Structure 1
Amino acid sequence: MAELLVGQVLRFAGDPMVEGPGAARHDARGAVLVAGGRIAAVGDPAALRAAHPRARVTDYGDALISAGFVDAHVHYPQTAIIASWGKRLIDWLNLYTFPEEMRFADPAYAAAVAERFFDLMLAQGTTTVCSYCTIHPESVDAFFTAAQARGLRALAGKTCMDRNAPEGLRDTAQSAHDDSARLLAKWHGVDRLSYVFTPRFSPTSSPEQLEALGALWAAHPDCLMQTHLSEQMDEIAWVRGLYPQARDYLDTYESFGLLGPNAVYGHAIHLEPRERDRLREAGAALVHCPTSNSFIGSGLFDMAGLVAEGQRVGLATDIGGGSSFSMLRTMAAAYEVAQLRGHALHPAQLWWLATQGAARALRLDDRIGNIAPGMEADLVVVDLASTPVIAQAAARAGDLWQALFPTIMMGDDRAIRAVWAGGRRLAG
């Protein structure tokens, strides 16, 4: 049966990072027709009701209907260690991340965490995630099984590490290649699932492993490749010591075939001029993880400068280095980081980064991240008066952006009234 969702509707006709807030389209009283898992039409509620009299109508009143949030960089195995007392990146990995990831050799444990992870994400209005798993193939199976059961569009890959990690978390160049190939054959393109080649980062992969994964990616160029880049200065110094022949951090990937238009690099805070030039030339994506960058003390992402250069930028929570599952909180943190760099991001830009911008970083903006006919029906319905303090601020608003900004800055799961994925209501 077709579904007709009525409320305020927010969508984009362009990129507000480049074109400004005018790229957004807001219907104070609009409707979205959903049929066959896709958005069939967007328009006036009365006209759509008349044209589709058998559609089931859900009227959300003044709530805002938007594309579901897209989280372009997460570590679902770190669900249980979120908000652990933090040090620097390398200390955090050794104290918290690696011990926790060793537990994912147990398929039952991996399955339990995957179920909890997706429940937490959906409660925050996130309908698509791109995740790192662990070195264990079982962790990938658990992730995709849980996503498939919910009908979600989801991306992930086995994390590959063959050095500078505990014995229980090291694979080899050959096993990383072979496991990734098997998991790709099993999951890629099944329902709404996509496999992503996933070397954790250069310090935990030998040149031989990076070369093997580069060769595998070259054989399957339609897949994404995700990794980390230039998150902290001590990390960069570590990379220089491990790869003395490399021109810079990016070169440790580029020289092994791990740079291209389907590459997705998390963090990218401390980039050299050559790296910025090559990333733009290659058409790679950079993913801003503001709560993580603050929590672990990594630095301030240069959003304004990178966008002005023409870089492709998305937004992510980076759970569990990130300190919140909420893309609302992540938008707020992105605003705060930009303020510290002397640039105020408009609410339209923040919302775009968390929806179509993140989808574009994952090469999925033709399918998700916006409300338009033919797009997959992944939607979130947001209450713009979810708490007394947000309600009093929204009541004073003169336009949508003044009404929406308090929810961006102070909203949480209480603001998420309903979530739809693939045309099915999963929450609310």
Structure 2
Amino acid sequence: MKLILGQTLSFLSDPFAGDPEASALWDRRSGVVVDDTTGTIVEIGPADTLKRLWSNAVVEDHGDALILPGFIDAHAHYPQTGIIASWGKRLIDWLNTYTFPEEARFGDAGYAAEVASRYFDLVLSNGTTTTVSFCTIHPESVGAYFAEAQKRGMRVFGGKTCMDRNAPDDLRDTAQSAYDDSKRLLARWHGQGRLSYVITPRFAPTSTPEQLEALGSLWAENPTCLMQTHLSEQTEEIEWVMGMFPEATDYTDIYDRFGLLREGALMGHAIHLSARERARLKEVGASLIHCPTSNTFIGSGLFDMAGLRAEGQKVGLATDTGGGSSFSMLRTMAATYEIGQLRGTPLHPAHLLWLATAGSAEAIGMGQTIGRLAPDYEADLVVLDLASTPGIEQRAGRAETIWEQVFPTIMMGDDRAVAATYVAGQRV
């Protein structure tokens, strides 16, 4: 057994559903007991009590640092690691100028393995313990992603990105090969340890109706999988896609027509939605994945977090590496706060931490497994130093509540704030 000590903050309820300050239990001197054999949490409680009850446990004491569930990045593109923070493009030009040339390199298994290793080094150093990633059209890219995550014991989700039009020749598959490759990769990786396969059409403009239909069929055959794609990211994208599918009512309806809209659908961005689309997304139980640094970096728009949550939508949070400009979920939370301010709906620190942990876990269908400090949950943890830089330290020193203490780290923190990251109870 292992006893990890520090401050703890445990969510009791969804802070969007009531008083955010009453949604979590904070303990100034507490601990988490972890079963090293199963990698799960056994107990949370006051430090002195746990030390008496678990006197034989190995103790790792983080002092005044704050223990939280590991961060969950619900939408990323690990193959874009090398092109993060590339200058000056909007979505379609971004894909053609930066993304597609880089993704073409992932047919090389060695290159894919190198980038996957670098990617997981970066996300773990930022306290992220679960990622949901698009790979490339190459099966080699999927194998590299899952093999590297498996080596580290991580719970991750990913899938082969499928495209059979509006992409370079060396990045196109077909309706049949997309189905066949995805089916084979799903059989190889889905449910292997902590790995889950995600059926992955990039987005409607890069898939023919035949490919979308094939992937909808594959999802129907494998209903325990998730499906990820992009929806209504930029206004010119919407105009473009509707020109290709004139029979559709709207962008959301395209996915609906091909069996790609139900619970388990992860819809990246979802910024420019009509009232009909919002109602339909809620009706089917799809999840909307907010990518704030990407939405600002490539000029997509301002996600309506407050309005969507108020109407009962499921929302996860994500970096959208590398359209997003940071691997850090702290920076992602900060951008979420800033976008809320621009919309006149500022979020409480509890909202932000919930979105990066339990909220994203619920969005990807893992709300009973990861994302909370609670018995029987998997022991993926991040430990935050709430005084990691002089600027943060002097501001946090004035705090009168835990929310005032943690907020400067959300707004100004980076990988220096991550004192430790645990995967299945093991420090990495």
TM-score bracket, shorter-length normalisation: over 0.9
Equivalent position SS for 2:362: helix
Q: How does 1:384-395 map to 2 (within 5 A)?
A: 384-395=386-397
CA-CA distance at 1:45 after TM superposition: 1.3
CA-CA distance at 1:88 after TM superposition: 1.0
In structure 2, how many angstroms separate the alpha carbons of the residues matched to 1:166 and 1:367? 40
Q: How large is the RMSD of aligned CA atoms in angstroms?
A: 0.5
Equivalent position SS for 2:409: helix
Q: How does 1:242-391 map to 2 (within 5 A)?
A: 242-391=244-393
TM-score (normalised: structure 2): 0.99
Q: Which runs of 5 or more residues in structure 1 are unaligned?
A: none
Q: Deviations over 1:121-170 (max 9, x none)?
A: 00000000000000000000000000000000000000000000000000
CA-CA distance at 1:51 after TM superposition: 1.2
Counterpart among 124, 147, 151 of residue 122 in structure 1: 124
CA-CA distance at 1:111 after TM superposition: 0.3
Partner of 1:26: 26
- Indicate the larger mover: 15-24 or 57-66: 15-24
Q: How does 1:204-219 map to 2 (within 5 A)?
A: 204-219=206-221
Partner of 2:53: 51
Q: What residue identity is the alignment partner of 2:362?
A: R
Q: What residue identity is the alignment partner of 1:67?
A: P
Q: How does 1:108-187 map to 2 (within 5 A)?
A: 108-187=110-189
Q: Deviations over 1:236-273 (max 9, x none)?
A: 00011000100000111000000000100000000011
Aligned residues: 425
CA-CA distance at 1:231 after TM superposition: 0.2
In structure 2, how many angstroms separate the alpha carbons of the residues matched to 1:194 and 1:290? 25
Superposition misfits of 4+ residues, deviation over 2 angstroms: none
In structure 2, how many angstroms separate the alpha carbons of the residues matched to 1:111 and 1:58? 32
Q: What residue identity is the alignment partner of 1:33?
A: V
In structure 1, how many angstroms separate the alpha carbons of the residues matched to 2:15 and 2:424? 26
In structure 2, how many angstroms separate the alpha carbons of the residues matched to 1:250 and 1:25? 38
Aligned-residue sequence identity (percent) comes to 65
Partner of 1:79: 81
Partner of 1:10: 9
Q: Deviations over 1:273-303 (max 9, x none)?
A: 1110010000100000000000000000000
Q: What residue identity is the alignment partner of 1:156?
A: G
CA-CA distance at 1:20 after TM superposition: 2.7
Equivalent position SS for 1:307: helix
Q: What residue identity is the alignment partner of 1:280?
A: K
Equivalent position SS for 1:325: coil
TM-score (normalised: structure 1): 0.99
Q: Deviations over 1:376-399 (max 9, x none)?
A: 000000000000000000000001
CA-CA distance at 1:86 after TM superposition: 2.6
In structure 2, how many angstroms separate the alpha carbons of the residues matched to 1:63 and 1:82? 30
Q: Which runs of 5 or more residues in structure 2 are unaligned?
A: none
In structure 1, how many angstroms separate the alpha carbons of the residues matched to 2:220 and 2:246? 25
In structure 1, how many angstroms separate the alpha carbons of the residues matched to 2:18 and 2:388? 30
Partner of 1:221: 223
Q: What residue identity is the alignment partner of 1:382?
A: L
Q: What residue identity is the alignment partner of 1:318?
A: D
